[in-house]
Structure 1
Amino acid sequence: MTLSIDLFYSYRSPFSYLALPKTLKLVAEYDLAVNLRPVYPLAVRVPGFFKKASPNFIRYVVLDSTRVAQHEGIPFRFPRPDPIVQDMMTLDVAAEQPYIHRLTRLGAMAQLEGRSLAFTDAIARVLWDGSVLGWNEGDYLARAAEKAGFDLAAMDEAITADPDRYEQVIAENEKNHAASGHWGVPTFVFENEPFFGQDRIDLLVWRMQGKGLARRQPG
């Protein structure tokens, strides 16, 4: 029996990106379906979040995500430009957010097609692996998406024609994310039980093994 989990994911979250290799390995090794469900980052979801958080919050995220990437051997650099338009001195978040709206809606569209994990893996690398400067320029995203079987221009066109459809998907994701019992990303949810963070995947596997998680058969 194929087990299924939800993965609540933000395109700005370094730990969401760092969870992808282990998630893909899980899907390759086990009879498991992962429904990646994009949500907006806390900067958009919770107005004023960074101004209320400890001054150590951002510094620790940078430190910890960098060493996790080094430990796991994952190519890593914070995206340039930041997917969230934010003044990092004042922590003010701009009213207009063209990057994160586009990325999250694209993920929502891929989710509707049942292929959001493959899509996100393809484009997240362009943002986070340090191989390009200006991930939003040129055809970097388009070429990455094409390799995963997506037509980025067609996706952008469909979203522009009906943005509300994809906003509704995102809103439903955020509602279910909150209902799972956690607010952070990445959060994996199995049978209504949340597992927050890329460092909880082993615990997630242990729980699923108790519910019959089976390895994939060769061939």
Structure 2
Amino acid sequence: MTLRADLFFSFRSPYSYLAVGRYRAMAEEYDLAITLRTVLPIAIRDPGILFTGNPNAGRYIFIDAARSAQMLGIAYRWPRPDPVVQNLATREIAADQPHIHRLCRMGQAATRRESGLAFADEVSKVIWSGMADDWHEGDHLAEAATRAGLNFAELDAEAQADAEALDAEIAANQAALDAAGHWGVPTLVFEGEPFFGQDRIAMARWRMEQKGLTRRHA
């Protein structure tokens, strides 16, 4: 029996990047279908919430994400450019956001094709691994889409032509995350139970094993 789960994911979240490839590998190893559900990063969705906590939070995330990647053996560097145009010193979010909405819409378009997990993994590698400066230019995203088995030109055209409907689906993803009892990413939701963070993957697998998770036959 194929088990099913949802992965709530942000293209701006370093922890989402550190999780998505491992969840993709899990879905390939086990009889498991994981649906990628893209959400807008909190810096875009609700920056007021982002900046009400301790001012040390941002610095801690920078440190912790880098060391987590090092421990896991995952290539990592803060993106150039950042998917969210923001002054990290002043925390000011730019009014013009040329990257994040495009990424989110393409991610949701990939989910429509049941290839969201692969797309998010391949694109996240381009953005976060340090493999490319100016990841938004040239053929970087197109090649990532190809590696995920998708047609980039088709995705990009759909992201522009069907932006309103895609944005509604992305908003519905956020509502579903809220209903599952969490607000952050990455969060895997399995049978209504949320597992938040890149450090809860083993726990999510443990729960699935209790529910009959089995390896795929060779």
**Does TM, normalized by the shorter one, top 0.5?**
yes
Quote the residue 2:130 is aligned against: 130
Quote the residue 1:118 is aligned against: 118
Quote the residue 1:70 is aligned against: 70
Q: CA deviation at 1:122?
A: 1.4
Q: Distance in 2 between matches of 1:198 and 1:159?
A: 28
Quote the residue 1:39 is aligned against: 39
Q: Distance in 2 between matches of 1:25 and 1:48?
A: 35
Alignment of 1:1-219 (within 5 A): 1-218=1-218
Tell whether the 8 Å contact from 2:4 to 2:34 is kept in structure 1 after alignment.
yes
Q: CA deviation at 1:182?
A: 0.6
For the residue of structure 2 that corresponds to 1:5, the secondary structure is: strand
Encode CA deviations 1:55-80: one digit per residue, 9 max, x unaligned: 11111111111011101100110111
Encode CA deviations 1:140-189: one digit per residue, 9 max, x unaligned: 11122122222212221122122111101101101001111011100000
Tell whether the 8 Å contact from 1:12 to 1:84 is kept in structure 2 after alignment.
yes
Q: Distance in 1 between matches of 2:50 and 2:187?
A: 20
For the residue of structure 1 that corresponds to 2:189, the secondary structure is: strand
Q: Distance in 2 between matches of 1:28 and 1:6?
A: 15
Tell whether the 8 Å contact from 2:115 to 2:148 is kept in structure 1 after alignment.
no
Q: CA deviation at 1:98?
A: 1.6
Q: Distance in 1 between matches of 2:60 and 2:142?
A: 33
For the residue of structure 2 that corresponds to 1:48, the secondary structure is: helix
Residue identity in the other structure for 1:103: L
Q: Which runs of 5+ in 1 are unaligned?
A: none
Q: Distance in 2 between matches of 1:202 and 1:147?
A: 26
Encode CA deviations 1:29-69: one digit per residue, 9 max, x unaligned: 21100101100001011132333121111111111110111
Q: CA deviation at 1:123?
A: 1.0
4+ residue segments displaced more than 3 Å: none
Encode CA deviations 1:182-201: one digit per residue, 9 max, x unaligned: 11100000011000001111
Q: CA deviation at 1:25?
A: 2.2
Q: Distance in 1 between matches of 2:47 and 2:200?
A: 27
For the residue of structure 2 that corresponds to 1:174, the secondary structure is: helix
The 1:21/1:154 distance shift into structure 2, 3 A limit, reads closer
Tell whether the 8 Å contact from 1:50 to 1:91 is kept in structure 2 after alignment.
no
TM-score (norm 1): 0.96
Task: Report the RMSD for the aligned CA atoms in angstroms.
Answer: 1.1
Q: Distance in 2 between matches of 1:148 and 1:114?
A: 11
Q: CA deviation at 1:121?
A: 1.2
Q: Distance in 2 between matches of 1:111 and 1:169?
A: 10
